[in-house]
Amino acid sequence: ETGVTQTPRHLVMGMTNKKSLKCEQHLGHNAMYWYKQSAKKPLELMFVYNFKEQTENNSVPSRFSPECPNSSHLFLHLHTLQPEDSALYLCASSQESSGGPTGELFFGEGSRLTVL
């Protein structure tokens, strides 16, 4: 039990589908993140939400659309993806303070996405 739960664990979708990944954290944290983990590439930070406001968007294509309705839930909406978007998508949370982030992220187990 990680404290960060991601669903679904596995997703196969066609390029014209619309799907969503869901993340829920049970740790009382105030920041949530989406990372992309591809084979042989470093973990890529996609989106950051601090106190429910998006504070980072690392040039992610618009076919990925995040949503953070509250501090415990984070979604990643997927639309017209490409095969190269196939990867493990990791959600993480942390507790941020006015002194700056602790850098300690708590990760979920990931959603393995395959785009056909």
Chain positions contacting other proteins, by CB under 8 A:
2, 4, 33, 40-43, 45, 48, 56, 90, 92, 100-101, 103-110
> Comparing C-alpha atoms, which of 72, 73, 68, 44 is closest to residue 55?
68
Q: From residue 78, how far is each of 45, 81, 94, 107, 113 by CA, in Å? A: 16, 7, 24, 20, 10
Residues 6 or more apart whose Cβ sits within 8 Å of residue 78: 13, 17, 18, 19, 20, 21, 63, 64, 65, 85, 113
Considering beta carbons, is residue 69 or 103 the nearer one to other proteins?
103
Considering beta carbons, is residue 40 or 53 the nearer one to other proteins?
40
- What are the tokens at 73? 């839930």
**Shortest spacing between CB 80 and other proteins, in angstroms:** 27
Three-class secondary structure of residue 28 per DSSP:
coil
Considering beta carbons, is residue 11 or 48 the nearer one to other proteins?
48
**Shortest spacing between CB 41 and other proteins, in angstroms:** 7
**Shortest spacing between CB 44 and other proteins, in angstroms:** 8
Considering beta carbons, is residue 9 or 18 the nearer one to other proteins?
9
**Shortest spacing between CB 48 and other proteins, in angstroms:** 5
